Amino acid sequence: MKGKLVASIEEAIRLCGLKDGMTVSFHHHLRDGDQVLPMVMAKIEELGFHDITVSASSIHGSHGCLADMIKSKVVTGIDTNFIHKCVGTTISEGYLETPAIFRTHGNRPHALATGEAHIDIAFIAASAADCQGNMNGVDGPSAFGPMGYAFADAQFADKVVVITDYLVDYPLTPISIDERYVDYVVKVDSIGDTSGIASGITTISKDPIGLKIAKTAVQVFENSGYFEDGFVYQTGGGRTSLATTKFLKEAMDRRGVHGACILGGINGLFIDLLEQGYFNKIVDTQCFDLKAVESLKNDVRHQEIACGHYADMCAKSCVAAHLTTVMLGATEIDTEFNVNIHTDSNGLIMGGSGGHTDIAYGAKLTVIVTPLLRQRRAAVLDRVGTKSTMGDTIDVLVTQRGIAVNPKHQGLRERLLDAGLPVKDIHELRKMARDLTGEPKPVAFTDKVVAKVYGYDGKLNDVIYQSKG
Amino acid sequence: MRRTMLFMPGSKPGNLLNGDVYGADSIIIDLEDAVALAEKDSARILTKHAMRTFHYDCELIIRINSLTTPFWQADLDAVIPEKPDVIMPTKIYTADDIRTIDAYITEIEKAHGMEAGGVKLLPLLETAASIEHAFEIATASPRMVGLYLGAMDLALDMKATRTHEGYDIAYARSRLVIAARAAGIDALDTPYTWDIHDNDGLAEETRMVKNMGFNGKACIYPGQVEVVNDIFSPTKERYEWALAIVKGAEEAEAQGKGVVAVNGELVDGPVIIIARNTVAEYEKINGVHRS
């Protein structure tokens, strides 16, 4: 058996033949606790490489080192689904040599499969691995759950390096990604801090506005005509989206409706729904807390899937295409129902689609939950700063001051009105918001494109310009 | 209709912005206990601007500081020109206190060319003296629209200990309801403060005070509003029962009959009045318009 275990990240980099101009990839399952991307990139910088493109499924708060590497031209390209503001601000300021590429969670594996995107070397953090590179995310001291985002990297990268802090005897079981794809294995002291995988939202919100919006959103689902046995459910990771689980349970009790499946991003709130018998299964690409990790490890009803299986809308089929409803947040939404989750009110990059755009397209009923105002800014606008998710995939907007239904769904609008829900025209909600906040001074940009935003279908949704500051 | 009156501090812009979205029949912007001494001025200014800027979709009540403080006149100077629906005076002892406030409001109304008497009064009875003078207070001014029981300060004044069962305020509750009813105005109960997330305890207490004759109950947390509203609202079944009686009474009247029979049972006068009230209440809450 040919040995794949190498002594260090540096040796793996050398053996993989990294050169200036290449693309290296990472997954984000350890989220804010990830130490693998910083560790590998620090070594790449130390070895004197330049002009590297980082293809990361998401860039989180633990990846702030990339900001300096962008300024020093070690990193000149970014291909990702989400960028935390600690790096996003640097990109918005125009430091990145080439425009950052934003894909969706579902379109990233598709682009890798078709060759539209390419990875030279994938560095894959695994919480457990054996010497041949069989790996999973559920064993070991740094267990983070499913390895959904890493499947495509393993499958399509030219070279694959597994980095683990828990090396076990061959063969590891269970296996998420197997040895056929792996070139080298590196044992390190730690791949990260698993407390950082928690999104911080693992209990039901007590914010009265958020609760009111969440309750109304569930009433929308309940009266939409889609609320029946066998439904498939997903929420975003925001506080209000997650709070819908509380009211969903009550509605399921009231109407005696039973769910087939929860799709996620999963945390303990969803595990409770599974364990209490509200749903039959959980299908999962990433865990947001350790309770979910434990569930994936121990409950056969909780299934890990690859990201492409989750949400590649160009595949023959995917789980997201079976969604009945999704409850999603928005930084901004406009009167054409376009949603921005990429840029803040100053036009600076601070997020990304993740799976938002995919599941909005896939679900039969896509509900956006957002307060009418965020701080002193209107969340309902004439035009969003960035079109992350296109308005034709959004069905309903729920705010604390009313519901707006996309005009393409007159039947749904009538059903919600018949149920006594406070349905309004979205322009009316826009006016309410504007009356409260006034019209802010427009944000100033240069002509330089700093990022391109692609949709679930790989088509360009929008571009982001350099901030004038 | 005042099934629910939701409190919010006059010093919190976020609360003022969203006060009316929770479904309370009234909101009470508080300039008194919820506002720290150092913030009295800023809360007053903020409240005044909130009243000018926001268009609340429910009754607006302003709770002012008591006559024993140096703030009550400044509170009224600031808010009366913005035409609140109701002023809630605090620490009332006698009917003279109401007359003093009434007179001051009248001065402000005149100074601003407002209709005299347009702003109503709903005082907080939270002293032993005010309970003893409840009927005189209830009839002290044509502005009076209700009496509201303040349990915490009342218990303090009585040297009583607050109990979950409400033994300490049982007499005060009864006395206040009788006085309000005798004066033809609303009786409003003190908020449930034991645990703002204990909806079961809230519901139990609300059912009790509804049975005692209260019109509604104050709320100190938005999550309480729905629970209290539900209990103070007629159910559909109750509405249908009442509607049958009202229709029976209308038919009997049209036919010149003195006796009303519904589903084979005789119905007497008080039941018809209750039925009419129930029908009116349900239709107002649910926006039902009978032809």
A438 touches chain B (CB under 8 A): no
Contact (CB<8Å) A212/B21: yes
Tell me what the mean pLDDT of segment A196-225 comes to: 85
Q: Which residues of B touch A375 (CB under 8 A)?
A: none
Question: B174 in contact with A at a CB cutoff of 8 Å?
Answer: no
| Both structure tokens of B67 | 């006559």
Which residue of B7, B8, B20, B21 to mutate against A (max A Cβ within 10 Å)? B21
Contact indicator for B185, B138 with CB cutoff of 8 Å? yes
For residue B257, pLDDT beyond 60: yes
Nearest-CA distance from B222 to chain A in Å? 6
What is the domain count for chain A?
2
* Interchain proximity A400–B21, CB inside 8 Å: yes
- Residue-wise pLDDT for B139-172, tens only, equals 999 999 999 999 999 999 999 999 999 999 999 9
Say whether both A386 and A433 belong to one domain.
yes
* The predicted structure's pLDDT at residue A21: 98
Examine residue A449 and state whether it is found in any structural domain, yes or no: no
pLDDT at A201 exceeding the cut of 60: no
Task: Name every chain A residue with its beta carbon within 8 A of the beta carbon of B56.
Answer: none
**With a CB-CB cutoff of 8 Å, which residues 71-110 of chain B face chain A?**
none
Does B53 reach chain A within 8 Å, measured CB to CB? Answer: yes
CA distance A212 to chain B (A): 7
Instruction: Tell me, yes or no, whether A435 and A311 share the same domain.
Output: yes
Give CA–CA dist A13/A240, Å, rounded. Answer: 43
pLDDT digits (tens, 9 = 90+) for A281-319: 999 999 988 899 999 999 999 999 999 999 999 999 999
Q: For residue A403, what is the enclosing H or E element?
A: strand A402-405
Q: Smallest Cα–Cα separation from A338: which of A387, A396, A407, A402? A: A387
| Residues A209, B18: C-beta atoms closer than 8 Å | yes
User: How do residues A137-157 score in pLDDT, each as one tens digit?
Assistant: 999 999 999 999 999 999 999
* A263/A352 same-domain check: yes
- Do A134 and A220 have their domain in common? no
Say if A88 falls within a structural domain: no
Residue range A147-172: mean pLDDT, rounded: 98
Q: Are A54 and A78 in contact (CB under 8 A)?
A: yes
Q: Give which of B4, B17, B224 to mutate to test A binding, by max A Cβ within 10 Å.
A: B17
State which amino acid sits at residue A267.
Answer: N
Lowest mean pLDDT segment, chosen from A3-17, A187-201, B76-90, B110-124: A187-201
Nearest-by-CA chain A residue for B53: A436
- State both tokens at B125: 């009875």
Distance CA B2, CA B188 (A): 8
Residue A204 at interface with chain B, using a CB cutoff of 8 Å: no
Domain annotation covers residue A462: no
Whether residue A218 lies inside any domain: the answer is yes
Residue A226 sits in a domain whose CATH number is 3.40.1080.10
Give the domain-ending residue among A156, A175, A197.
A197
Q: Closest Cα to residue B77, out of B85, B68, B87?
A: B87
pLDDT given for residue A202 in this prediction: 58
- A-chain residues near B236 (CB < 8 A): none
Both A296 and A388 in one domain: the answer is yes
Task: Please judge whether B22 and A208 are an interchain contact, meaning their C-beta atoms are less than 8 angstroms apart.
Answer: yes
Same domain, A274 and A355: yes
Residue A161 sits in the same domain as residue A114: yes
Q: What is the DSSP letter of B67?
A: T
Is B147 in a helix, a strand, or coil? Answer: strand
A246 has a chain B CB within 8 A of its CB: no
Contact A212/B at CB under 8 A = yes
pLDDT of residue A2: 62
pLDDT at A200 over 60: no
Give Cα A208 distance to the centre of its chain: 26
The label of the residue with tokens 């969903």 reads: A248
Average pLDDT over residues A106-128: 98
> Which residue of A204, A209, A246, A398 to mutate against B (max B Cβ within 10 Å)?
A209
**Residues B219 and B228 sit within 8 Å (Cβ to Cβ):** yes
- Return the SS3 of A13: helix
Interface of A with B in 395-424 (CB under 8 A): 400-401
Q: Please tell me the distance in Å from B21's CA to the nearest CA on chain A.
A: 6
Q: Is residue A342 part of a domain?
A: yes
Q: Does B22 touch chain A (CB under 8 A)?
A: yes
Q: Which of A206, A212, A373 sits opposite B22 (nearest CB)?
A: A212
Within 8 A of B21 by CB-CB distance, chain A residues are 209, 212, 400-401
Is the domain of A273 the same as that of A191?
A: no
| Cα distance between residue A184 and residue A180, in whole Å | 11
pLDDT digits (tens, 9 = 90+) for B35-46: 999 999 999 999
The residue type found at A26 is: F
User: What mean pLDDT value characterizes chain A?
Assistant: 95
Measured between beta carbons, the chain A residues lying within 8 angstroms of B221 are 208
Phi, psi of B73 (to 5 degrees): -70, -40
User: Is A400 within 8 Å of B222 when comparing Cβ atoms?
Assistant: no
**Token reading at B244:** 């049958």
Among the partner residues B21, B222, B223, nearest to A401 by beta-carbon distance: B21
pLDDT category at B291 given cuts 50, 70, 90 is low
Residue % of chain A over a pLDDT of 90: 90
Place of tokens 């620090």: A42
Q: Cβ separation of A211 and B223 shorter than 8 Å?
A: yes
Contacts of A212 in chain B (CB under 8 A): 21-22, 222
Spell out the residues 6+ positions from residue B266 whose beta carbon is closer than 8 angstroms to its own: B259, B260
Where does CATH 3.20.20.60 sit in chain B?
A: 4-231
A396 and A293 belong to one structural domain: yes
Q: Is residue A452 part of a domain?
A: no
Residues A112 and A217 both lie in one domain? no
Fold of B4-231: TIM Barrel (3.20.20)
The structure tokens 């009156």 sit at: B5
Residue A246 lies in a domain: yes
Res B137 pLDDT > 60: yes
How far is B259 from B112, CA to CA, in rounded Å? 54
What ipTM was assigned to the predicted interfaces of this complex? 0.80
**Mean pLDDT in residue range A401-417:** 96
Residue of A nearest to B197 (CA): A206
Domain coverage including residue A13: 5-57+105-197
Place of tokens 């506005």: A209
Whether residue A199 has pLDDT greater than 60: no
The one-character DSSP state at A107 is: H
Tell me, yes or no, whether A459 lies in a domain. Answer: no
Are B223 and A208 inside 8 Å of each other by CB? Answer: yes
8 A C-beta contact, residue B199 and residue B223: yes
C-alpha angle A172/A199/A168, rounded to 5°? Answer: 15
Tokens linked to B113: 């060319």
Tell me which residue has tokens 């749903």.
A279
End residue of a domain, out of A197, A228, A260? A197
Which residues of B are less than 8 Å from A401 in CB distance?
21
Instruction: Inform me whether the pLDDT recorded for A206 exceeds 90.
Output: no
Structure confidence by residue, pLDDT tens digits, B67-96 = 999 999 999 999 999 999 999 999 999 999
CB contact under 8 A, A208 and B17: no
